[in-house]
Amino acid sequence: MNNDSLNNLLRRIKTNDPTLTSINLSSTVFTEEQLITLFKYLRTNKSITSLNLSKKPLNDRAMKMLSIFLEQNHAIKKMTLNFNQISNKGAKYLSQGLRKNQSLILLKLNGNEIGSEGLSFISKALTANKILEELYFNENPITNQGVEELSRTLRVNRSLQFLALEGNQISSKDLRLLSVALIENTTIKEISLEKNRIDDEGAKFISGLLMKNKSLQELSLNDNKIGNKGAKLIAEALKGNKLIKELQLSENKIGTEGAKSIAGCLSSNTTLRKLKLNSNQIKTEGVNFLIESIINNSQCALKVLSLNDNRIGDDSAHSLKALFLKNASLTELHLNNNKIGAEGMKILSQAIDENNSIKVLGLSGNQIKSEGLTYLSNSLRTNESIKVLLLNKNKINDSGMKNFCSMLKKNCTLNKISLMDNKIESISMKYLSNALIVNNSVQIIHLEWNNIGKVGAKHLCKGLVLNSSLRKIGLSGNKITTLGISYISKALKTDCCLSKLGLMGNNIKDTGLKCLMEGLESNIAINKLVLNGNKLTNKSLKYIINTLKVNYTLEEICLDGNQIYKQNLIFQIETLLTINSLILKAIKFLLKGKNEIAKKEFQEIIDLGIVGTKLALVKGCLYYVSGDYQRAIKHFSRYLKAMKTNFRIFWIRGLTYEKISDLEKATNDFETVIDLNPKFAEDNQINGINYGDIIDDNDDGIDEVNLDLDKKNESMDDSDSYPEENLSLSSSSSSASNYSSSSSSSSSNPKLKNTDVETNSKTNNINNSNERSIINNNDDDDGDGGGTDDDNNHNSKSKSNSKLNTNLIKKETKINNLSNTKKNSSSLETVNENDSKRLLDKNINDYDNINEQSINKNDDNNDDENNNDNENENENDNNDDNKELVNSQTCVQCNKIASCYCLDCKVSFCKKHCQKIHRFGTLIEHKFTHCKQMNIKD
C-alpha cells in the first residue's frame, strides 16, 4: 500500500465511512507517524469492528497510542496483533486500554515478546475487563510467574470463553496452577494447550479438571508428552464427565494400552462427539478396542474419529467393517497413513455400500493402489452418504481410475475428491471427462502432483465444457505446459461454473499465460487463479492487466515463485483485483435488494476512474438501483454488446425491462440466460429470485424482485462514450488511492498473492465448506420480495400477461429439456454411457482438430455450429419423450397450464405446484412432498 492509498484509508476512518467495517494491514509498510495517526482516528470511529495489524513492529510509543484508542473506542470487536514484537512494556500499555474497553471480544497476541511480566499486566486487566471472550496467547516466552498470575485471574474472570496457550513451554508444574483455577472458573468452554511440556504427571491435573469443572467442552492436548498412564487418568475422568464434546490427544505416546483405556470410557460416554488420536502408535490391537467400545455403546454420540498414522494395516479391516455396519453416529472417519492395502480395502468395501452415516472418509497415504480402488468404487456405486473422499498418495494408476470414473457416472453424492500425488496419467483424464459430462454432484477435484500432461489437459477440458457442478479443480505439478494451457483457455471461454483453478508448477511460460488470459476475458466465474512456481516474467503482468480491464470476477491471483519483479505493474494488478472485488460486492448488494448500500458502492467504484466495459456495467447497475431504468438499459446494452456471454447481466437487464413493462424484451433476455446457463436459471427458480415467478396466481400483474428502488441520481454522467483503457491506473488521483481502503477490508480483500497457497493443498485437511462462484443468487435471503412499480405501469403489465404466460411456459420447457440433456442420469436414468459418448463426440469435435502447436481461432465458429446442431437434436429427442409422458395439459391441483409431469403419479403440474421437483431434482422427492399432500395415488 502506497502513501496515497494509506492516506485515503485514514480519511475514510476519520469520516466514519459506514462501508468500512474491517481493516487488514497485515505486513503493510508504513511510518510510525502514519501508525500514530491511524490510532488517533480510530478513537472516534464507530464503523470499524475488526482490525488486523500483524507482522508490523509495534514499539512502546505505538502501543501507548493503541491503548488510548482502546480506551475511547466503543466499536472495535476483534483485534489481531500477531508477530508484532510487542514487549513487556507494550503489554503494560495494552493492559491499560483493556481495563476500560467495553467492546473488544477477541484479542490475538501470538508470537510476540511478551514474557511473564507482560502476561501479569494483561491478566490483571482481565480481572477488571468484563467483555473479552477469546484470548490467543500462543508462542510467547512466559514462565511460572506469568502462569501463576493468569491462574489468579481465571478464578474471578467471568467473560473469557476461549483460551489458547499453545507453544508456551508450560510444564506439568505450571498446569497444576492452571487446573485449580479452571476448576473454579465457570465460563471457559474451550482451552488449547498444544505443543507444551505436559507429561503423565500433568495428565493427573487434567484428570482432576475434567472431574470437577462445570463448563469446559473442548480440550486440545496435541503434541505433548502424555503416555499410556496419562491416557488412563484422562479416560477415568471422562467416564463421569457429561460436558466434554471434543478431545484431541494427537502426537502423544499413549500407545495400545492408552487406547485400551480410552476405549473403556467410550463404552459408556454419551457426550463426546469428536476424538482425535493421530500419531500415537495405537496399532491394530488398540484400534480394535476402540471400535468394539463404540459399537457396544448404543448411546454413543461420537461423530468424528481420527486415527491417522497409527500403523493399523489390513489387520483392523474386519473391525472397521463392523464399525461401518453397526454404528450409525459417525459422520467422519480418518484413516490416513495407516498402511491399509488392497486386501483391507476389499473387506471395508463390503460394508461401505451399506453405511448411511459416514460423510467424510480419509484414506490418504495408504497402499490401496488400483486394485483397492476398484473394490472401493464398486461399493460407492450404491453408497448415498459419503460426500468427501481423500485418496492422496495411494499409488493409484490409470486402471484404477477407469473403474473409479465409471462409478462417478452412477454416484450422485460425492462433492469433494482428492487424488493428489498418485500415478495418474493422461488417459485417466479421458475417463474423468466422460464422467464429468454425466455427474452433477462433484464440486471439488484435487489432481495435483500427478502426470496428466498436455494430452490429459485436452481430454479433461472436453468434460469441463459440459459439466455444470465443478467449482474447483487443482492441476498443479502435472506438466501441463503451454500447449495444455491452450486447451484450458478454450474451455474457460465456455465453462461458466469453475471458480478456482490451480496451475502451480506446470512450466507455464508467458505465451501460455497470454492464452489463458484470453480465455478469462469472457469468463465470468473464475475468482481465484494459482500460478505459483511457473516460468512467467514481467511480460505476463501486462497480459494479466489487459484481461483485468475486461474481467470483473477475478479477485485473487497467486504468482509467487516466478520471475516477476516490476512493482508498478504488480500494483496495477492489485488495483484492478480490488476493483473487481468491489464490483462483485456491490452487485451482491443489488441482488439482495440493498439499494442504498449498492448505490454508494457503485458510485465509489466510478470515482476510482474505471474505464471501458467495466464502466458501462457499473453505470448500468448504478442507474438500476437509483430507479433510472432507461439509462440502466442503455449502459447494460453497451456492456453486453462487448460481453455477449454474461448471463448474469442479461438477467439483470431483463429485470430492468420488467420495471418499465417491456415484457417482450424481458422475456428475450431471460431466454438468453437459459441458453447461456440453464443451471443458473434453475437455481434462481429454487431461491425465489426468479424470472419465472413474475406471473401471480391471481393474474394481477407482475411480482418484482425485492429491490427497494431509490430516487434517480441526476448527477451521474450519462455520456455516450467511455474513456479508453490505459495501462496506468495510478495516474488518476483517485485510482491509486481510493481503492486501497477497500482492499484493506478483510471481508472483500482480493490479493495478488505471493504465498504458495497450493502447497497447503498437499495436506490431508478437509475443507467442508461448499465452494461456489462469487455472484450466486442462492445468497438471497429476502425471497420473493414485494417491490412495486407505479400504478400507471401496473395496467400495462396486466395487459401483457397473456403473452408473457405463454412465453414462460416455453422457457420452463426449455430449461427442463436443456438440463435433461446434460445430466440427471442417476435420478431419472435417461443418460447412459453411450449417450455421454454421443454428446461428447458431437458437441466438442473442435478439440480433436486443435493444432498441437497453436490454437486455431476459427474453431469458435465450428463450436457454435456443432452446439446448435446438438441442441436442436437434443430438444427434438426430449420433445418426443414429453409427448409420450404428458397425458394431461392442465395442473391436477389448479387446472392451469401444466409444465411438468410426474412419472410416479402419472399426473401433470403447473410451475407453482411442481416447485419441489426443481428444488430437489428427483421425481422421488416430488412424489413424497406433493403427491402425499394431495392424496394422489398411483
Summarize pLDDT for 714-770 with one digit per residue, the tens: 333 444 444 443 333 332 333 333 333 333 333 334 445 543 333 333 333 333 333
Which tens digit of pLDDT belongs to each residue from 454-464?
Answer: 999 999 999 99
Q: What is the spatial distance between Cα 133 and Cα 28, in angstroms, rounded to a whole number? A: 28
- pLDDT score of 8: 77
Structure confidence at residue 271 (pLDDT): 93
pLDDT attached to residue 10: 87
Tell me whether strands 190-192 and 444-446 are parallel, antiparallel or unpaired: unpaired
* Per-residue confidence (pLDDT) for residue 184, from 0 to 100: 92
Looking at residue 747, the DSSP 8-state letter turns out to be G
Q: What is the pLDDT of residue 136?
A: 97
Instruction: Single out the residue of 591, 621, 629 nearest to residue 604, CA to CA.
Output: 621
Q: Is 426 left (phi over 0), alpha (psi -120 to 50) or beta?
A: alpha
pLDDT in tens, 475-495: 999 999 889 999 999 999 886
Number of neighbouring beta carbons within 10 Å of residue 340? 26
The model's confidence at residue 675, banded by pLDDT at 50, 70 and 90, is confident
pLDDT tens for 596-618 read 889 988 998 888 888 888 899 99
The per-residue pLDDT for 277 is 96
Categorize the per-residue pLDDT at 803 as very low, low, confident or very high, splitting at 50, 70 and 90. very low
Q: Please state the rounded mean pLDDT for residues 329-350.
A: 95
- What is the rounded distance in angstroms from the CA atom of residue 263 to the CA atom of residue 216? 21
Per-residue pLDDT at 924 exceeds 50: no
Provide the Cα torsion 382, 385, 387, 390; round to 10°.
-70
Percent of the chain with pLDDT over 90: 55
Confidence of residue 3 (pLDDT cuts 50, 70, 90): low
Between the alpha carbon of residue 922 and those of residues 543, 703, 829, 914, 919, the distances in Å are 45, 27, 11, 11, 9
Terminal-to-terminal C-alpha distance of the chain: 68
pLDDT at position 837: 41
Q: Is 890 helix (H, G, I), strand (E, B) or coil?
A: strand
Q: How many residues does the chain have?
A: 938
pLDDT of 611 reads 81
Q: What is the pLDDT of residue 862?
A: 39
Residue 504 scores a pLDDT above 90: yes
Amino acid (1-letter code) at residue 805: N
* Mean of pLDDT values over 927-933: 38
Tell me the average pLDDT across 285-291. 94
**Degrees, nearest 5: CA angle 474-479-481:** 100
DSSP string, 444-463: EEE-TTS--HHHHHHHHHHH
Contact between 130 and 159 under an 8 Å Cβ cutoff? The reply is: yes
Q: What is the pLDDT of residues 528-573, one digit of tens each?
A: 999 999 999 999 999 999 999 889 999 999 999 999 988 888 888 9
- CA-nearest of 566, 521, 508 to 539 is 566
In this predicted structure, what is the pLDDT of residue 1?
55
Give, in order, the Cα–Cα distances in Å from 769 to each of 443, 471, 472, 598, 766: 11, 12, 12, 27, 9
Q: Residue 96 above 70 pLDDT?
A: yes
Eight-class DSSP state of 195: S
Q: Is the pLDDT of residue 826 over 90?
A: no
Q: What is the DSSP code (8-state) at residue 80? A: E
Q: Which three cell numbers stand for residue 785?
A: 420480495
Band of the pLDDT at 692, cuts 50, 70, 90?
Answer: very low
The β-bridge partners of 361 are: 333, 389
> What is the tens place of the pLDDT at every residue in 846-889?
434 433 444 343 344 434 444 444 444 444 444 443 333 333 35
Q: What is the pLDDT of residue 534?
A: 94
Lowest-pLDDT range, 105-109, 120-124, 642-646, 791-795? Answer: 791-795
Query: For 191, what's the count of Cα atoms within 13 Å in the CB-facing half-sphere?
Result: 22
Residue 932, beta-bridge partner list: none
What is the model's pLDDT at position 902?
Answer: 65
**pLDDT score for 506:** 94
pLDDT at residue 18, rounded to an integer: 79
Q: 258 or 29, which is more confident?
A: 258
CB–CB of 527/774 below 8 Å? yes
Give the Cα-Cα-Cα angle 673, 674, 678 (nearest 5 degrees). Answer: 115
3-class DSSP assignment, residue 219: strand
Closest-CA residue to 108 (of 74, 73, 133):
133
Residue 679 clears pLDDT 90, i.e. is over it: no
pLDDT at position 2 is 59
Kindly state the average pLDDT of the residues 214-241: 94
The answer to whether 475 touches 448, Cβ cutoff 8 Å, is yes
Lowest mean pLDDT among 77-86, 395-404, 821-830, 887-896: 821-830
CA distance 845 to 462: 9
907 — pLDDT class (breaks 50, 70, 90): low
Looking only at the bridges linking them, the beta strands covering 900-902 and 907-909 are antiparallel
Distance, in Å, from the CA atom of 93 to the CA atom of 63, rounded to the nearest integer, reads 6
pLDDT of residue 29: 77
- The residue ranking higher by pLDDT, 141 or 684, is 141
